Amino acid sequence: MSLVLSDVTLSYPDGDGRLTALDRIDLTVEAGEFVAVTGPSGSGKSSLLAVAGTLVAPDSGTVLVGGVRTADLSAAERARVRRDHIGFVFQQDNLLPPLTALEQVLLAVDLRKGGRRAHRTRAMELLEQVGLADAADRRPHQLSGGMRQRVNIARSLMGSPSLLLVDEPTSALDRERGRQIIALLAGLVRERGVATVVVSHDLDALDPGNRTGVDATASIADGRILRVERHRSHVGARFVETAG
């Protein structure tokens, strides 16, 4: 499954006028690609994620998730797309204090059909993949910041999403742990063939050009993609840079 944003514009009310958050954005990310959108606070990164994740409808343009035009869907249908096809890794881990790491991951599928035993097996497999098999019974206060973010990643993958949207995953981590999280994400999304967009202001943690880093980066400012760099020769992700 791929993500396609075509000529997407998004604005918000601002006093008597409107503030443009995204200005004619074009972005295509294929299955298994790990791409980054970087820029300062207020540049439009989070708005791009919100539109890609069908949380916000753009003013104009087209959003395709796996070839489906999300603008043609009802609110309930968009919610099903998010539930069944999109995983989110939020800037804050949003873990619930009373729950263990295993229970946090299982929470992602509690409303779905299927045997609890099968879900538990998959949750344990994901915790093992993120290096937390021995911490399955620990609660958030017993985990470091990096460990909590790894639980967050495992939870986002629990529903086998085809599209993963990641918001500032290293903002609360030091440089080394930030790079470890990016390397972990890169390995998981390539192995699973998940189209992935990460937004971040921390270019160093994204480790571009390294086999454990992102495939491509796009710099965004004032809602416009200004510069694109591709770091791996096979990457098919396509951005359209804004002229001028």
Burial readout 75-96 (b: 16 or more C-beta within 10 A, e: otherwise): eeebeebbeebbbbbebebebe
Evaluate if residue 219 carries a pLDDT over 70.
yes
206 belongs to a structural domain: yes
CB atoms within 10 A of CB 28: 18
Residue 196 lies in a domain: yes
134 part of a folded domain: no
Asked whether residue 100 is assigned to any structural domain, the reply reads: no
CATH of the domain at 53: 3.40.50.300
Mean pLDDT calculated for residue range 97-103? 96
**Integer Cα distance of 4 and 67 in angstroms:** 8
Say if 116 falls within a structural domain. no
Over residues 104-109, the mean pLDDT reads 88
How many domains are there within the chain? 1
Whether pLDDT at 237 is above 60: no
State the residue range of the domain holding 194: 3-95+161-239
Residue 35 in any domain: the answer is: yes
* Domain assignment of residue 12, yes or no: yes
Confidence of residue 193 (pLDDT cuts 50, 70, 90): very high
Residue 104: enclosing H or E segment and its boundaries? helix 101-106
42 domain residue, yes or no? yes
* Residue for token pair 């035009």: 69
Task: Give the pLDDT band of residue 136 (cuts 50, 70, 90).
Answer: very high
Q: In the predicted model, what is the mean pLDDT of the chain?
A: 88
pLDDT value of residue 16? 87
| 151-171 tens-digit pLDDT | 999 999 998 899 999 998 888
